[in-house]
Structures are given as structure tokens and as C-alpha cells.
Amino acid sequence: MTSLAVSAVGAQAVPAEAVAPAGVTSLSADTSLSAAGVTGQAGTADEFDGADCVVGPGAPGTDARLPDPFTRNDGTRITAKADWECRRAEIKKHAEDTIYGAKPAAPQSVTGTVSRTGITVNVSDQGRSTSFSASVDLPSGSGPFPAVVVLGGFGADTATIKNSGAAVISFDPYVAGAEGTGRSTKRGAFYDLYGSSSSTGLLVAWGWGVSRIIDVIERSDGSILRTDSFGVTGCSRFGKGAFVTGAFDQRIDLTMPVESGTAGAPILRGVATESGAQPLSSGYGEQPWLGDAFGSHVNNPAGLPVDTHSVIGMIAPRGLFLMENPSVDWLGARSGSVAALAGREIYTALGVTSNISYVSDVADGTHCANRAEWRAPMQASIQKFLLGTGNAPGVFRVAPSKSGNLADWRTWTTPQLS
């Protein structure tokens, strides 16, 4: 087919003179987007809304219990669903400033190719450039297909993803941010652009890599992969990455973290007190998953202005399926259940309670196993949020052995938003 050369930076898209290999959509930096019906810099309009919101200074946390996600920085509570956009922008800023580090604005240029077997990504920003790739595994059928980005390949139920009608994009997050490099010498594609001494942690760097993959797909001709339907999943440390990736890119329709543990979905205030859970000091120090600023909260999570229930709110009202393992104490599943219960209150206030599912009541205690208890809600979630068929599962099954009590963790009530 004839490739369509498009760029994240420019003005008129025109057919490229070269002919791409069969099944390949090519994107090049030499032309621009408007003739193809796509305008704007990569990711700016839809990667995260709330750009017009005024985010004022917020006070630090003062309570060992969970902060009220519905209270603005100025102390007033939101009253309408439409208020959530700017409240979400406040939460995002707090989360960047105190937990994860900043996710930069969309880069100046993102180009690449989409084929039936792989995706290439080339990124330039502020005079620096980097490149990476990911593999594609298509389900049966003619497509185009929605796609689920699988971080790391460990523990993801790729068979169920494909059987549900979605493509699997296998992305090695270490190419975006490598582990074992320390806080002052971070390496990988993200740090190629933003510096090895960046205060941003690996989880945001991994999510940044997924966002750039989405940029390339979004600007392809849509003949192989749909340009408007994306999911993300991963297990263990890659579950942490999936959770943060979904929170920081609103083009992701379905987020499915698996056994994410400390620095993932479980409330940070909870894992600090949960017997056997990975301590915050370990979650911060084992790898630079979290941003450098979190170091000042390792021993004082009550000082955080937000917690992971609010990060779940950054995903709302989009699809979310949280999967946890109660058999491994290190994973902090009780704190995970509290995060899910508190996060579900945000979904309820927005009128989409069924868009969040949570299952920790599983028989197999093996870390990152593919479990029968997760299969049906995963398939239903993919069909609803990526294919647009059926109903959101709205499943909530908490393991009795690791069941947290939300009443112990909040003083706020859930508003009825107009």
C-alpha cells in the first residue's frame, strides 16, 4: 500500500512517494497531519484533559486516612460531574509532585511505522532524539483490531486478550526506563530525552513509552490497528506500570493491573501498616519506580495530598479491572482492596459504578498466574471498552482473608454529583 507520511508537528499530510511494504503504515517527519484529518501535536489534546484548568496550590496531607478525592485545592467540594475534569487535573499535579514525578508535555515529534508484526517509534524533543519498538500479535479475523499493550510480557493473559478480539502489543518497558540504574543515572528512551538525572520515576517513563506507541497508532491509517481503542496490562512491577500508564493517558480505554503491590494500586497509607506488605522504603528504594520526591514521604505517607484511590480517580470514568493475589502478603492485597473500594466511590459519583471491577478472591496463589476467576470479567471488559459490545462487568469479589474496611480509612462521604 502507499504509505501516508505524517508528523506530530506539522501542517499538511500527503501521500509519501515511497511505497511501504504490504501491511505497513509508515509515518514520517517530512510532512504533517491536516490533510489526513488529524491535527495537532502528538498527544496534546487527548492524552490528558484539563489543560485549561487552573490548578492552584494545595495543602499537604495531614491525615493517616485517605484524603477526600472530591475536595478541591481551595477546600470546596465538587458538586457536578463536569467538575471532575479540573479536580482530576489537581490530582494529577499532586501525584506528579509527590509520588511519581512529572510526565512531560507531548514531544515535538513522534513518527514511526505500524505493521502486522511490529511498531517502530521515533521521538524528538528539545533537540534530542530516541527510538524504540514493540511487537504486534494479531487475533484471528480481518481487523482492524483494538490493541492491549502488555508491559513486560510477564503474567499477562494474552490468550484471553486475543480470544476476546484484541491485538497484543508486547512492549519491553525497560527500553523506556531501565531498572538497576539508580536515581541519578537513569537510562532508557525517556531519559535520552529528559536527562539521566530526571526526578521522574520509571513508572511514568514506562507510561510515556506506551503513550508514544499510541501516538504512532493514532496517526496510522487504521488498516491494522484501530486508532481509537487501547488497553494496557502487566503483572507485578509491570502491573505498577500498567496502573500508572492508564492514569496518565486518557486515550487508554481499559486499564488492567495485575498484582501490582506497593507503588501500584494499593493505598500507600495502607501498605505502610499492613503486616507483611512490601514497605514503602522498599517500594521506593528497590528500583526508582517512584519519583524522587516520594523519598520525603516514605516515613510519612499521611503527608501525601493524594493516595492511590485518587489515582484510580484519574482513570475514571474509563474502564478499570484490578486483579490481586491475596496469597502473597508482600503484594499488600488488603490495601489494594481499600484502594479499589475508595476508587469505586469516585466511579459511583460519576454514575459509572460498573466501569470498575476488582477480583482478589482467587484459588491459585502463584504469583502472576493466569486465573480462571479473571477470565470472564477480562473478556467482558475488553468487549465493552475496546470493542463497544456488551456490558461492563462491574464485578467486585474481595478475598475474605484480605478484605479491607473502607470505613476505617475515610471520614468523607460520596457526593451525589449532578
pLDDT digits (tens, 9 = 90+) for 157-208: 999 999 999 999 999 999 999 999 999 999 999 999 999 999 999 999 999 9
The helix (H) or strand (E) run that includes residue 194 is helix 189-194
Which residues are part of the catalytic machinery? Answer: 236, 367
Domain assignment present for residue 50? The answer is no
φ, ψ for residue 14 (rounded to 5)? -135, 155
Domain assignment present for residue 251? The answer is yes
Q: What is the pLDDT, as a whole number, of residue 21? A: 33
Band (pLDDT 50/70/90 cuts) for residue 56 is confident
Domain assignment present for residue 104? The answer is yes
Band (pLDDT 50/70/90 cuts) for residue 46 is confident
Q: How many domains does the chain have?
A: 1
Q: Is the pLDDT assigned to residue 115 strictly greater than 90?
A: yes
Find the mean pLDDT for residues 371-377.
98
Domain residues for 194?
Answer: 60-408
Find the mean pLDDT for residues 215-231.
97
Do 203 and 239 contact (CB within 8 A), yes or no?
no
Band (pLDDT 50/70/90 cuts) for residue 20 is very low
Q: What is the pLDDT, as a whole number, of residue 57? A: 83
CA distance 299 to 355: 34
Residue 176: name the closest of 133, 235, 138, 218 by CA.
133
Q: For a pLDDT cut of 90, what percent of the chain falls above it? A: 87
Domain assignment present for residue 302? The answer is yes
Domain assignment present for residue 394? The answer is yes
Residue 150: name the closest of 262, 242, 47 by CA.
242
Q: Which three cell numbers stand for residue 333?
A: 492485597
**DSSP label at 165?**
T
Domain assignment present for residue 13? The answer is no
Q: Is the pLDDT assigned to residue 78 strictly greater than 80?
A: yes
Q: Is the pLDDT assigned to residue 9 strictly greater than 70?
A: no
Query: Going by C-beta distance under 8 Å and a sequence separation of 6 or more, which residues neighbour residue 80?
Result: 417, 418
Taking the CA atoms of residue 217, residue 220, residue 225 and residue 228 in that order, the dihedral angle to the nearest 10 degrees is 70
Domain assignment present for residue 142? The answer is yes
Measured between alpha carbons, how far is residue 133 from residues 74, 171, 259, 310 in Å?
43, 8, 26, 32
Q: What is the pLDDT, as a whole number, of residue 291? A: 98
The type of residue at 309 is H
CATH of the domain at 220: 3.40.50.1820
Domain assignment present for residue 130? The answer is yes
The helix (H) or strand (E) run that includes residue 204 is helix 202-218
Do 332 and 277 contact (CB within 8 A), yes or no?
yes
Q: What is the pTM of this model?
A: 0.90
As a whole number, the mean pLDDT across the chain is 90
Q: What is the pLDDT, as a whole number, of residue 55? A: 93
